Amino acid sequence: MAVTVVIGGQFGSEGKGKVAHFLARERGAAAVVRVGGSNSGHTAVGTSGPTILRQLPTAALLPDVLCVIGPGSYIDVPLLLSEVERTDLDLARLLIDRNAVVITDADRDAERNAGLREKIGSTCSGTGAAVRKRVDRSGDEYLASRSPTLEPLVFDTSPVIRDLLERDERVVVEGTQGFGLSVLHSPYYPKATSRDTSAAGAISEAGLSPRDVDEIFLVIRSFPIRVAGDSGPLEPEELDWRRVAEEGGHSSDLTELTSVTRLARRVGRLDPQLVRRAISVNQPTSIVMNHVDHVDAAAAGGDELTPKAAAFVRWAAEEIGQPIDLVGLGPDVLIPATVPAMSR
């Protein structure tokens, strides 16, 4: 039992890639399994600076970690190959499950023609259409096992992961998007994604058993975001980036662009009710809060919380009913939360 699962507790972009990269390094993971599709980007800081990956796990930036794309994944082949080249990943370190589904041009066209960007803020990456084809079971789905391009990389990945676990190696599952986007659990359905984004969903997509898991990290951010457009509510209050910067004493613009569409993200106040719901369903062993430096510019890049940032973390922990264990103070900074511990 040595599986760490990393999932989001809001609407994505909570910094899961950063956390998965950190945990893979700190835990000495033998493998990291990336699930989901190309409709979300994960950022981690490697030796050459920040890198955004939409298909590979962020452990691709680490030496010697096996990178696995699980059976519940959806693959944009040209994008995957470009990430392999960009990260200089040794192909001996990449395994793709034979049951992963390949996203086609027809899948992307189907989402654009359906107006999903306008209706729900979809990235129109084709992931949802590929999910639908898999569920339809019509034979139109394009499995990785049928791709001549991917053929040298295709394996039955579950036995490989099982062998690592039987040798007491650590495996990290890098979940995508956030709990508030789950097609099963979102309180804002149909403003949701096409998959279940819970820990249980990530485990299933990775080809693992719940009995394998001993750590679940729920990642949240101080000011949650949603993608541009009509992507659903931001409760209890939607803000703008200028106000976030002013409240945190930032002199620079904090506006974030989405990893896929490069449109400005929407931003709002932390919603404790949504996070409590994510905690109830996922039962995390640890909570990580990123972008705490947005609360106080003086905390950015530091090795401890400022009084203002600590007060916010303490308030958030009280509101969500569980201690916050790690806080992010920048793209490559994760530190223990130095606030009085709460009783669980």
**Token pair recorded at residue 113:** 């023609």
Query: Residue 197 falls within a domain, yes or no?
Result: no
177-187 pLDDT, tens digit per residue, is 999 999 999 99
Query: Residue 293 falls within a domain, yes or no?
Result: yes
User: Which residue range(s) make up the domain with 245?
Assistant: 225-336
**Token pair recorded at residue 28:** 């000495």
CATH of the domain at 285: 3.90.170.10
Q: How many CA atoms lie within 13 A of 193 on its CB side?
A: 28
The gap between the terminal CA atoms of the chain, to the nearest Å, is 23
| Distance between CA atoms of residues 288 and 337, nearest Å | 9
Query: Residue 243 falls within a domain, yes or no?
Result: yes
Mean pLDDT over all residues of the chain?
93
pLDDT above 90: residue 164: yes
What is the structure's pLDDT at 204? 97
Query: Residue 212 falls within a domain, yes or no?
Result: no
Domains contained in the chain, number: 1
Residue 342: pLDDT band by 50, 70, 90 thresholds?
A: very low
Query: Residue 219 falls within a domain, yes or no?
Result: no
Query: Residue 278 falls within a domain, yes or no?
Result: yes
Question: Percent of the chain having pLDDT more than 70?
Answer: 96
What is the structure's pLDDT at 259? 73
DSSP 185-205: T-TTTTSS-SS--SHHHHHHH
Query: Residue 287 falls within a domain, yes or no?
Result: yes
